[in-house]
Amino acid sequence: MILINQNIYLMTYYILILTTCLLSSYSIMAQEVSNTKTNKITVHIQNIKSSKGKISVGIYNSSDSWLKKTYAGLTGEIVDGKATVIFDDIRNGEYGISLYHDENNNDILDSGIFRIPKEPYACSNGAKGRFGPPKWNDAVFVVESHDKELIIKL
C-alpha cells in the first residue's frame, strides 16, 4: 500500500513538472510571436521620365550595409511615369532605401567616369550625395509597429 502511494505521488510530481514546463514553453513562444510582428513598406516612385526598363529598389537595414548589400530588393514596373513596390515582413527598426531606373534592363546602375551614375537614381528622404553617394544618416527612417508608405521622386 505504501509503495502504491509513493508511485502515485511520483507520477503526480512528474505530471506537475511536465505541465509547468509545457506552459512555460507556450508562454515564451507566445511572447516571441508577438515580438516578431512584421510590417509592410510601400514605396511609390514618381516622376519617372521614361517607361523603358524597370525600377530597381533596395532596402538597407544598417549604415554598414548602406549601398553595399541590400536587406531586400524588388523591381517595379513603370506605368505612366510611376511605379510601386511593396516590401513585406519588415521588422521594426531603421531602414534606408535606394533605387534607380534601370533603363536598359541590365540589372546594374550604369556609371561613367568617377563612378557617377548615368541612370536616374534616388533615396529615401530625398537624400542626395555631395561629392559622393548619399549618406545613411540622410536616408534613414524608422519603422515601428505599423505599415509605412514612402513617396520617392526620381
- Which mean pLDDT values do the consecutive 10-residue runs of the chain (154 residues) have? 52 54 49 67 97 97 97 97 97 97 96 91 95 95 94 97
The CA distance from 42 to 144, in Å, is: 14
The predicted model scores a pTM of 0.75
Q: What is the pLDDT of residue 30?
A: 45
The CA distance from 68 to 142, in Å, is: 20
Q: What is the pLDDT of residue 115?
A: 85
Q: What is the pLDDT of residue 32?
A: 47
